[in-house]
Amino acid sequence: MEFTSLLDTSLDLNAKPPRIFDGNPVLKQEVPSDFIQLGRNVAVKEEKGALMEELKRVNEENRKLTELLTVICENYNELKKQLTEYTSKNPASKKRKAESSINNGSINHGTNSHDDSSSSDEDSSKKPREEHIKAQTSRFYVRAAASDTSLIVKDGYQWRKYGQKVTRDNPSPRAYFKCSFAPTCPVKKKVQRSIDDQSILVATYEGEHNHLQPSKIEAASGSNCCVTLGKTPTSVSSSGATAALDRTKPKQNADNARNSIRKIDSPEFQRYFVEQMASSLTKDPNFTASIAAAISGKFLQKNPETGKW
């Protein structure tokens, strides 16, 4: 079974099976004689049978991939749970390194409540800088063309760039923006390409706007999709390619860690996560290769007799 072909047939897990024979000119065609009509009907039936077989096969592959993705989701959740437990048991663990390792994780789709909590668990009332970190932070993932180097995330607000840095753990530069209403509005954001998928921009927002959006114009045009700074924990742009997740208040650390896991366990998240993974798989060849390797590893682990993992 070729993995990529399997993926191609599994892109839209919620799509209805295609209505293959709708509008088929052969079926609508007027025929001059019963004989020709009969011959054509036989040919159409054969073609239909072959296509139905193909459809069946595709559906089966689709189902298998869905199962695989579910397993990956479960493993991901399990690892996340373990990480949460570990960080809560080891509050003195190296903060910065822990953060970077989390950020380096293969697909950290916006669930940033843990690294936030790890940074504010200890000495929460220490310094002004710590208070600044305590300001509401959120992380958004925006799909953008890999060739697009602008690091601009259109979110309806106006931003002024005040710095750019290349960080150690990610070769892509990180851009620093302040809300153009500063100093009245204290909101800042950082934008950096995902280390795993160069077509994903990771936008980290700090603080909350104390004013309305300068423009209500939809910013979905151009190479970037629109991100909405909604209050909901999960929101997806109309294109479906943009993820906006986990707008979490760091001060609710412990609860958030649990809620985050609960959110991850929710069927909505599972479905969304599967869609995101499928999207990533088809768009990033490296990621495809990595997941293919991981899945093939799973196949090898599978018990051939029971057929279970």
Annotate 167-226 with DSSP letters as a single string: -TT-SSEEEEEEETTTTTS--EEEEEE-SS-TTEEEEEEES--SS--S--S----SSSPP
Q: What is the number of H-type helices and E-type strands within the chain?
A: 9, 7
Nearer to DNA, 95 or 251 (CB): 95
C-alpha span between 159 and 232 (Å, rounded)? 23
Which residues ranging from 35 to 94 are in contact with DNA (CB under 7 A)? 94
Name every residue whose Cβ is closer than 8 Å to that of residue 63 and which is 6 or more positions away in sequence: none
Examine residue 172 and tell whether it contacts DNA (CB under 7 A). no
Nearer to DNA, 68 or 250 (CB): 250
Which residues ranging from 203 to 232 are in contact with DNA (CB under 7 A)? none
Nearer to DNA, 154 or 263 (CB): 154
Coil, helix or strand for 163? Answer: strand
Which residues ranging from 123 to 142 are in contact with DNA (CB under 7 A)? 126-127, 129, 132
C-alpha span between 301 and 74 (Å, rounded)? 16
CA 251 to chain centre: 25
Examine residue 167 and tell whether it contacts DNA (CB under 7 A). yes
Site string for DNA, 85-124 (x = CB under 7 A): ---------xxx---x------------------------
Name every residue whose Cβ is closer than 8 Å to that of residue 100 and which is 6 or more positions away in sequence: 168, 169
Residue of 45, 161, 271, 302 interacting with DNA (CB under 7 A): 161
Tell me which residue has tokens 């843990």. Answer: 114
Nearer to DNA, 101 or 210 (CB): 101
Residue of 164, 210, 215, 238 interacting with DNA (CB under 7 A): 164
Examine residue 174 and tell whether it contacts DNA (CB under 7 A). yes
Which residues ranging from 237 to 256 are in contact with DNA (CB under 7 A)? none
**What's the min distance (Å) between Cβ of 109 and DNA?**
20
Q: Using alpha carbons, select from 200, 170, 203 the residue that is nearest to residue 279.
A: 200
Q: Using alpha carbons, select from 202, 115, 279 the residue that is nearest to residue 271.
A: 279
Q: Which range binds DNA by CB under 7 A, 138-146, 174-182, 216-224, 292-300?
A: 174-182
Examine residue 181 and tell whether it contacts DNA (CB under 7 A). no
Residue of 143, 190, 193, 247 interacting with DNA (CB under 7 A): 190
* Residue ranges in contact with DNA by CB under 7 A: 94-96, 100, 126-127, 129, 132, 158-165, 167-169, 174-176, 180, 188, 190
